[in-house]
Amino acid sequence: MPKPIRYLLYLAVVALLAYNSVYIKKLDEVKAGAATFNAAGYALDFWDKKLTPGLSKAVELSALTSQLKTEKDKAFEQHSHALGIGNIRYFLVKGEGVVADVSENEVSVKLAGASENAGNVRIATEYIFGNAVRDASGAIDINAFTNSMDFNNVSAEINKLIREKVVPPFKSKVKKGDRIAFHGAIELNRAHLQVNDIEIIPIHLQIEKP
């Protein structure tokens, strides 16, 4: 084959490879593509497929508080979850009790079977924030997220679901003396443990007969 023709074929192959190897996009298109994570959709899917089906694994809160007083380390190892190695840990809990007080921000509950000197637990009904519900089940893998903002947005959307779906129907009817059942998440500090003033972020609330 004559040299000019070989060179032309060579140049054609190089040009073809270069054309298929380089993609040019507008910067605003790239930014739009990077912002496609749907935190609300992820949170709802997590709620329906992982969190609420897993509530049967929640530990009884009265049993947990008893264990924490006698076997603190074992209780944390058996029942808590957290993303890091710090002292803040999260527990998925359940329980029953009698409503001792209803305020604007919370519902105070005397746990069934609790001792006379045990403090009441508080179910948050106004300020729903933090990562307790997202992390308590241990069912979300942080490595599945490409950045911390998306991960934190999932937590915000889960808390939004609680404010919109869980709290209103409960708060509109609950009154002092009601017997209730609950599932929720709590946050405890291993180094500065306090079990006489526990706040529960609710996941499921049910009013039973007084």
Domains defined along the chain, listed by start: 37-207 (2.40.50.420)
Any idea which residue has 């992390």 for tokens?
135
The pair of three-digit structure tokens given for residue 88, joined into one six-digit string = 């803040």
CB-CB contact of 91 with 186 (8 Å): yes
Q: Give dist(CA 149, CA 192) in Å, integer.
A: 29
Three-state SS string over 71-132 comes to CHHHHHHHHEECCCCCCEEEEEEEEEEEEEEECCCEEEEEECCCCCCCCCEEEECCCCCCCH
40 vs 43: CA distance, rounded Å: 5
> What is the per-residue pLDDT across 178-199, written as a single tens digit (0 to 9) for each?
999 999 999 999 999 999 889 9
Task: Tell me the CB-side half-sphere exposure of residue 103, using CA atoms within 13 A.
Answer: 10
The answer to whether 191 and 87 have CB atoms below 8 angstroms apart is yes
pLDDT tens digits for range 138-152? 998 888 898 999 999
Mean pLDDT of 135-139: 93
State how far the Cα of 84 lies from the Cα of 208, in Å rounded to an integer.
38
Q: What is the pTM of this model?
A: 0.81
Which of the pair, 32 or 112, is modelled with greater confidence? 112
Structure letter (DSSP) for residue 182: E
State pLDDT tens for residues 8-59.
665 665 555 555 555 455 555 555 555 689 999 999 999 999 999 999 999 9
Longest dimension (CA), the chain: 102
Mean pLDDT, rounded, of the chain:
87
Give the pLDDT confidence score for residue 1 in this predicted structure.
Answer: 62
